[in-house]
Amino acid sequence: MFVKTSKPMGKVATTIEDQIKRLEERGMNLDMPNEKIKEVLLDIGYYRLGFYWHPFEVDTSAKERIHNFRDGTKFSTILELYYLDVDLRHLLIRFINRIEVNFRTKLVYYVSNKFRSSPTWFVDPKVMSRDFIANFDSYYSDDFKKTKVLKLHHKRNINDKYAPAWKTLEYFTFGTNLKIYKCLLDKEIQERISKLYNVNDTTKFIKILETIVFVRNYCAHSGVMFDLRNTYGIPILPDYNFNNNDRHCLDSCMKVIIFILSQISPNRSSELIDSLENLLLLYSKKDSTINDIIEKKINFIYSKT
């Protein structure tokens, strides 16, 4: 691993002992047993933990960017913030998966039943844009066809270039299936699906799903959740409000996840709302600085006290 040194010496690999000394020199309160700190650094890593102590850094020199810590910064606080992020990631990906499966099912069902004579409609120029079809083989690669179900399909149907939509789309990512939806030529089907989620404007529906895919990928690739900022503003709907008019923060992303989930299952939507509230409330009580991050970075407002 590589860490920034307090002097412009380039990137230098360091030992766990050197890392602990570096943290102490920068002003962190090492309020846990030394062996436990070593265990954490070997488990999570100095570099990755840096994402979580970054909010506690202050620059004593704008030129050299030494990154000392604010007075009172505790190692245990950094670890709690890391665990909050892990718990948030696991919670969100579980409910996003419900949305992903539901959207894929509706996409396959409605398009396949309208174009019943074209089971591989995803490469049919009467159904899909030509640009998508031209690049389709990059999705349906040799590695993709090694999936157990697809491999068996092609073994039994040696003349089929592609498996039917209900098999193929099952193994595409959320992002790829959203792209298929966007590339449909039949706007009536697009509208029909978007209205099933209580969104009449397909452009807004696409942007909402793009937000959910963005969060899904952030979770899947272990992104830092509390610091998440959606690149594009989330569409405004009458069903939710943005705290402090911030259309980019994690809380706003969670609002659209809750909204779409509520169209699928009100019970699961309520479960997510309660789970998020309980989780963030739990960590907010552990340390006031974590509560500040929840309120100012995530932009979350508690309904419970």
Mean of per-residue pLDDT scores for the chain: 93
Model pLDDT, residue 67: 81
| In a shared domain, residues 204 and 113 | yes
| In a shared domain, residues 86 and 68 | no
Last residue of a domain, one of 22, 41, 73: 73
Model pLDDT, residue 9: 34
**pLDDT tens profile 254-274:** 999 999 999 999 999 999 999
Domain count for the chain: 2
| In a shared domain, residues 37 and 143 | no
| In a shared domain, residues 118 and 92 | yes
Model pLDDT, residue 204: 97
DSSP characters over 213-226:
HHHHHHHHTT--ST
Instruction: Looking at 26-74, list the stretches that DSSP marks H as alpha helix, in order from N- to C-terminal side.
Output: 34-43, 46-53
What's the CA gap between 183 and 131, in Å, rounded? Answer: 9
What's the CA gap between 68 and 21, in Å, rounded? Answer: 13
| In a shared domain, residues 61 and 102 | no
Greatest alpha-carbon span in the chain: 71
Last residue of a domain, one of 52, 73, 94: 73
CA 175 to chain centre: 12
CA torsion sign for 201, 205, 206, 210 is positive
pLDDT over 80 at 280, yes or no: yes
| In a shared domain, residues 239 and 162 | yes
Identify residue 239 by its one-letter amino acid code: D
| In a shared domain, residues 158 and 44 | no
**Average confidence (pLDDT) over 108-127:** 98
| In a shared domain, residues 41 and 89 | no
Model pLDDT, residue 65: 61
**Average confidence (pLDDT) over 185-202:** 97
Model pLDDT, residue 297: 95
**Average confidence (pLDDT) over 5-33:** 82
Nearest residue to 78 (alpha-carbon basis) of 30, 144, 15? 30
Q: Does residue 157 sit within a domain?
A: yes
Model pLDDT, residue 215: 97
Identify residue 102 by its one-letter amino acid code: N
Model pLDDT, residue 3: 39
| In a shared domain, residues 23 and 103 | no
Q: Does residue 54 sit within a domain?
A: yes
**pLDDT tens profile 35-70:** 999 999 999 999 999 999 999 998 755 555 668 999
Domain assignment of residue 131, given as a range: 82-298
What's the CA gap between 230 and 181, in Å, rounded? Answer: 21
**Average confidence (pLDDT) over 209-231:** 95
Model pLDDT, residue 305: 58
67: left (phi over 0), alpha (psi -120 to 50) or beta: left
What's the CA gap between 89 and 279, in Å, rounded? Answer: 11
pLDDT over 50 at 1, yes or no: no
Model pLDDT, residue 166: 97
Last residue of a domain, one of 73, 106, 135: 73
Q: Does residue 61 sit within a domain?
A: yes
Beta strands in the chain (DSSP E): 3-4, 11-12, 57-58, 68-69
Model pLDDT, residue 303: 86
- Tell me the three state secondary structure of residue 265: coil
Q: Does residue 303 sit within a domain?
A: no
Name beta bridge partners: 74: 29
Model pLDDT, residue 156: 97
